[in-house]
Structure 1
């Protein structure tokens, strides 16, 4: 069966006992790992028990298709349900998984992890159509889902969080769920569980100098038309684990905020003060210069190019890093500030 985002979260919290296998697929590797770990904790009493948990790869299944059924049928010392995880799977595993679902012995719970799979994928179609299986897409968080992740994380720790702090974190996180949680844990460690409200100042202190702000460097360099700085920022962002789509979305958010300021009328400084989250003080001067330089038609073209690049990156097998880098460089090469300096 095919689960939407809301159904997927509910399933991870309480797996359907009739489901024998789950497919976790999509571009957010951190979210795949998070959901896999959450399912493991629900199925197995002791996730560290080597007799209750089996790890396989797609390559191992290709070499020995019977391995899945053998691992699933193995008994757990002391009783309980066995958990079988298959990493880096693809359509080559479809026939093997189909045989397992059709009646292999044992009550093991199987999790198949795969990269982004197109709608035509035979493995994805199998999980979406079989009543004993479930397909959970793992896509990058958008602003709405990321706000929910942030609020839920601090609520679980007994902390309230201010609206500005949520907005700031939502603007700087989201490229990978695992990376997002590491940054939230950094804020929690700084603030301490159950000690009041997390403020904008708290998150700026913790996240302000983090690797995630390399996304700001990408956006600012793109808007400024600074090609050397953009090349350095893009390389650094990829090295630090940011996805190509997260770079494109960071640039899009930046241009949307510039558009909000440039189109507000009146003084740019006053319009900037109304932005939520507020402009980070270290980059306020650069942001103001870009808001004064870019025109609405230019911003619209830049945003359209970013959307085209994101769609291209989502195609299976596409060279996402190359496509994202090319789009950012093209926008930067046509930035009004760059043309003015060149003149």
Structure 2
């Protein structure tokens, strides 16, 4: 059966121990690994490793011994309790061996948990798990964690429920951090609040959040797109002091203007175009970006992208001009273009 992202969040927190198998796949190995860790911990509880109720197999193990998965699923341990056989990096090349073990599964056998890279809809492994009446297949995408997932993290960390202001801060933070960094930040907040009975506040979260240059980089690019020329120099000086490279800034600006161009070219309007972008734009930036796309227009955005691509080529060439100054000059030219758009 195929689990939707919404249903998957609940299932990872409370998995069914009587299911024969679970396939987790996705492009981001860190996101897939975090989900796998969560579901195995929920299935087995503490001390599973010490009690040998978790068996780990690799794709190489299964290629070397075609019966390795079936043998591990059928094996009986010395300790009572549920068991899991975890196979990492599953591929369609191993589908016959994996699906054979799944077909032989009986109640009381170890549950099969597989992780894989992104699998296309035609993948034999994905199709088999999605069509199976008892097993599950879950695709993990690059969207930031939503409210239910964050609430689950808070509960696991012993932080309880967050009020509206604190949850809003956490949602913003989840879009700025990688999933592993975000989970570590939640754990850090739990330690910070260990002896503090007061409710979780935005100030608590910000005190534990990693200092990231991404927010200032976003502010710089928005300033460029909105013709706020006077803000460009100070923001670039701060980012340079924090170690941001010119190439990184140019790439970020190019990505932003590509998104604006795609939105401006949408036949249903810029607002609809922003909502259709993948990966999705954070909800707090959607209206702002829609206004930028509408104000610039598709053809002027094409000119802006041409300027950014030329800048990127110069940064990667053997020219001797100071690279940060080159990027700053291009950003100022874009801001001037924005100021003349009307």
Output the TM-score relative to the length of structure 1. Answer: 0.64
- Cα distance, 1:200–1:7 mapped onto 2, change above 3 Å: closer
Distance 1:302 1:177 in 2: 36
Equivalences for 1:328-339 in 2 at 5 Å?
Answer: 337-339=332-334
1:25 matched to 2:25? The reply is yes
Q: 2:143–2:279: 8 Å Cα contact kept in structure 1?
A: no
Residue aligning to 2:110:
108
Provide closer, same or farther for how the CA distance between residues 75 and 203 of structure 1 changes in structure 2, counting only shifts above 3 A.
same
The aligned counterpart of 1:289 is none
Closer/same/farther in 2, CA of residues 81 and 302 from structure 1, 3 Å limit: farther
Residue 112 of structure 1: CA displacement? 0.3
Shift of 1:159: 4.5
Q: Which runs of 5+ in 2 are unaligned?
A: 226-231, 237-243, 253-277, 303-307, 314-326
Map 1:85-124 → 2, pairs under 5 A? 85-103=86-104, 107-124=109-126
Measured at CA, do residues 299 and 138 of structure 1 come closer, stay the same or move farther in structure 2, by a change above 3 Å? farther
Q: Is 1:231 matched up with 2:231?
A: no
Aligned-residue offset at 1:139: 2.1
Following superposition, the deviation at residue 187 of structure 1 comes to 2.3
> What is the CA distance between 1:65 and its match in structure 2?
1.9
* Partner residue, 1:35: 35
Q: For the pair shown, which has the larger CA radius of gyration, 1 or 2?
A: 2
Deviation at 1:85, TM superposition (A): 0.5
SS in 1 for 2:87: strand
1:297 pairs with 295, 298, 315, which one? 295
- How far off is 1:20 after superposition? 1.0
Give the alignment's TM-score, normalised by structure 2. Answer: 0.64
Q: Where does residue 16 of structure 1 map in the other structure?
A: 16
Report how many aligned residue pairs link the two structures: 273
Contact preservation (8 Å) 1:221, 1:230: no
Q: Which residue of 1 aligns with 2:197?
A: 195
Distance 1:302 1:53 in 2: 58
The superposition leaves residues 154-185 of structure 1 with CA deviations (integer Å, 9 ceiling, x where unpaired) of: 45634553433322321232454332211122
**Pairing partner for 1:256 from 286, 291, 313:** 286
Counterpart CA distance in 1 for 2:76 and 2:82 is: 8
* CA–CA separation in structure 1 for the residues paired with 2:88 and 2:136: 16
Change (3 A) 1:83 1:92: same
Compared CA separation, residues 250 and 201, structure 1 to 2 (3 A)? farther
Cα deviation per residue 1:100-124 (whole Å; 9 max; x = unaligned)?
Answer: 1222576111100112212111111
Helix, strand or coil at the partner of 2:50: coil
Tell me, yes or no, if the aligned pair for 1:25 and 1:136 is still in contact at 8 Å: yes
Root mean square deviation of aligned Cα: 4.2
Distance 1:121 1:36, change over 3 A: same
Query: Post-superposition shift, 1:255?
Result: 5.1
